[in-house]
């Protein structure tokens, strides 16, 4: 169990700045997700905590102790990677025993056997114990990798996209399983992913990373409902938030360049942003298709997702996504009317992309 703090971390590789002045605070027992695109610096952050990289400047604290001089072994962390963390020449059992066998740990043989058995049971891989790891399926391999991590009872679990190499069904199953394991162990997890669904469904806290900087951190709900800027708004959520350029005029949003209007109700006056160039953000589920709504649009595309439909609406050049119940019957090129749920609109400054709620 451990509390992890990164303080003003900068990491440069030659001329390339991978992380710029990054600070993180991960509470004990928290499932913390680092979310970002490829190259955003997620893996680098993880490797800094693991002690596989040294920061160019800044400090890493584990339980309040500066661990700058600690090697990977002394930090007592466990690492699960997307692939390659199992040794192909070893059996599953040998792979699970491996973390318990270094000289610095000196775990007695009986305890090793007992712990391996317990982990195998938890992960339901008992029948695989004597198999060579190159004869496992992707899901089994990843289970064993997770097993290798938990068998040691480390202070922190670091996971680098452990699920992204798996197929969709398995990913879903392991997602739940992993979250359950974390809750049962009550351990600190630092989980890196580019998949916002993983972040939203598993994380107690999520930090969104872009170009080596943390754009926003908070609970998944905060990030989803109140994105700090247009990057977060378009990155988190599937389908992403609709971003519409326009300006505010009294209690109405005037959308440019099509110049149709949508009501903003009380939001307009309160923000004090009259005539300012804005970007309006609205989640697909807050766009409403109904006959009495203010704006007319054509149905551009319909995606059927089973429980719901994602409808792409076209107004002039502008494409907007809305979710509707699966029952709604819509055909491409149908004329429909839509409006939005004015309370849920997020206002972004069009120049900086920052949410007005956050800059205020």
Partner 1 sequence: MAAVQTTSERVLNRVAIVAVLVVTLIFLAPIYWIASTAFKPRNLATTIPPTVVFTPEISPFVKLMVRRSQMREQPSAEEYAAAPWWEQMVMDGGEKVVRDGKGEVQLSGYPNRFMNSLIVAITSTVLAVGMGTFTAYGFSRFKVKGEADLLFFILSTRMLPPVVVAIPMFLMYRAVGLNDTHWGLIILYTAFNLSFSVWLMKGFMDEIPKEYEEAALVDGYTRMQAFFKIVLPEAATGIAATAVFCFITAWNEYAFALIMTNRRAQTAPPFIPSQVGSGLPDWTVIAAGTLLFLLPVAIFTFLLRNHLLRGVTFGAIRK
Which residues of this chain interact with partner 1, rule CB under 8 A?
50-52, 71-73, 75-79, 81, 83-85, 87-89, 98-99, 102-105, 148, 152
Nearest residue to 282 via CA among 318, 308, 309, 328: 318
Shortest distance, CB of residue 182 to partner 1, whole angstroms?
A: 18
> Looking at beta carbons only, is 92 or 297 nearer to partner 1?
92
Whichever of 152 and 309 has its CB closer to partner 1, that residue is 152
Q: How far apart are CA 171 and CA 141, in angstroms?
A: 13
Q: 82 near 164, Cβ under 8 Å?
A: yes
Question: Would you say 317 and 258 are in contact if contact means Cβ atoms under 8 Å apart?
Answer: yes
Task: Please report how close the Cβ of residue 45 comes to partner 1 at its closest, in angstroms.
Answer: 15
Indicate the residue among 90 and 260 with the shorter CB distance to partner 1: 90
In the complex, the smallest distance separating the C-beta of residue 134 from partner 1, rounded to whole angstroms, is: 11
Integer CA distances (angstroms), 23 to 10, 68, 197, 355, in order: 9, 15, 24, 21
CB-nearer residue toward partner 1: 61 or 90: 90
Place of tokens 């003003």: 8
Task: Please say which residue, 94 or 251, places its beta carbon nearer to partner 1.
Answer: 94
Contacts for 288 with CB less than 8 Å, ≥ 6 apart: 322, 338, 339, 340, 341
Q: Could you check whether the bond before residue 121 is cis, i.e. omega within 30 degrees of 0? A: no
- Closest separation in Å from C-beta 79 to partner 1: 5
> Which single residue is written with the structure tokens 């030659």?
14
Give the DSSP letter string of 256-285. Answer: TTTTEEEE-TTHHHHHT-TT-EEEEEE-GG
Shortest gap between Cβ of 93 and partner 1 (angstroms)?
15
Which strands, in side-by-side order, build the sheet including 4-13? Answer: 16-26, 4-13, 57-62, 65-66
Q: Identify which of residues 61 and 98 has a Cβ nearer to partner 1 in the complex.
A: 98
Nearer to partner 1, 16 or 103 (CB): 103
46 or 289: whose CB is closer to partner 1?
46
Among residues 163 and 347, whose Cβ is nearest to partner 1? 163
Only one residue has tokens 């351990």, namely 187
| Neighbour-count burial of 84, counting CB atoms closer than 10 A to its CB (0-12 exposed, 13-18 middle, 19+ buried) | exposed
Token representation of residue 356:
């007005």
- Smallest gap from Cβ 109 to partner 1, in A, equals 17
Least separation, in Å, of the C-beta of 42 and partner 1?
A: 16
Q: How far is the CB of 49 from partner 1 (least distance, A)?
A: 10
Report, in Å, the least distance between residue 91 CB and partner 1.
Answer: 14
Region label for 70, one of left (φ > 0), alpha (ψ between -120 and 50) or beta (otherwise):
beta
Residues 6+ apart with CB under 8 A from 96: 116, 119, 120, 129, 144, 147, 148, 151
């Amino acid at each position: 169990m451990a509390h992890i703090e990164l303080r003003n971390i900068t990491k440069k590789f030659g001329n390339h700045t991978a992380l710029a002045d990054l600070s993180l605070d991960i509470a004990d027992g928290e499932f913390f997700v680092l979310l970002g695109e490829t190259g955003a610096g997620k893996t680098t952050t993880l490797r800094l905590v693991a002690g596989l990289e040294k920061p160019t400047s800044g400090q890493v604290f584990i339980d309040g102790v500066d661990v700058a001089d600690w090697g990977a072994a002394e930090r007592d962390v466990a690492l699960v990677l997307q692939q390659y963390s199992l040794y192909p020449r070893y059996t599953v059992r040998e792979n699970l025993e491996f973390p318990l066998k270094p000289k610095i740990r000196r775990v007695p043989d009986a305890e090793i056997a007992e712990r391996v058995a317990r982990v195998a049971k938890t992960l339901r891989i008992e029948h695989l114990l004597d198999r060579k790891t190159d004869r496992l399926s992707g899901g089994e391999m990843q289970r064993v990798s997770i097993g290798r991590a938990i068998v040691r009872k480390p202070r922190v679990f670091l996971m680098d996209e452990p699920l992204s190499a798996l197929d969709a069904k398995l990913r879903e199953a392991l997602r739940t399983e992993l979250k359950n394991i974390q809750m049962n162990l009550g351990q600190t997890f630092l989980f890196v992913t580019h998949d916002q669904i993983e972040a939203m469904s598993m994380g107690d806290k999520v930090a969104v990373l872009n170009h080596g900087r943390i754009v926003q951190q908070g609970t998944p709900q905060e990030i989803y409902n109140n994105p700090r800027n247009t990057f977060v708004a378009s990155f988190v959520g599937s389908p992403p938030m609709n971003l519409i350029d326009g300006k505010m005029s009294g209690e109405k949003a005037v959308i440019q360049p099509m110049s149709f209007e949508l009501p903003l109700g009380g939001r307009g006056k309160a923000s004090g942003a009259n005539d300012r160039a804005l970007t309006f953000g609205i989640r697909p589920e807050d766009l409403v298709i109904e006959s009495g709504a203010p704006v007319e649009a054509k149905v551009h595309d319909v995606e059927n997702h089973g429980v719901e439909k994602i409808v792409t609406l076209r107004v002039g050049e502008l494409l907007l996504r809305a979710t509707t119940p699966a029952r709604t019957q819509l055909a491409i090129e149908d004329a429909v009317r839509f409006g939005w749920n004015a309370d849920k609109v997020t206002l972004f400054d069009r120049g900086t992309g920052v949410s007005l709620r956050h800059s205020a």
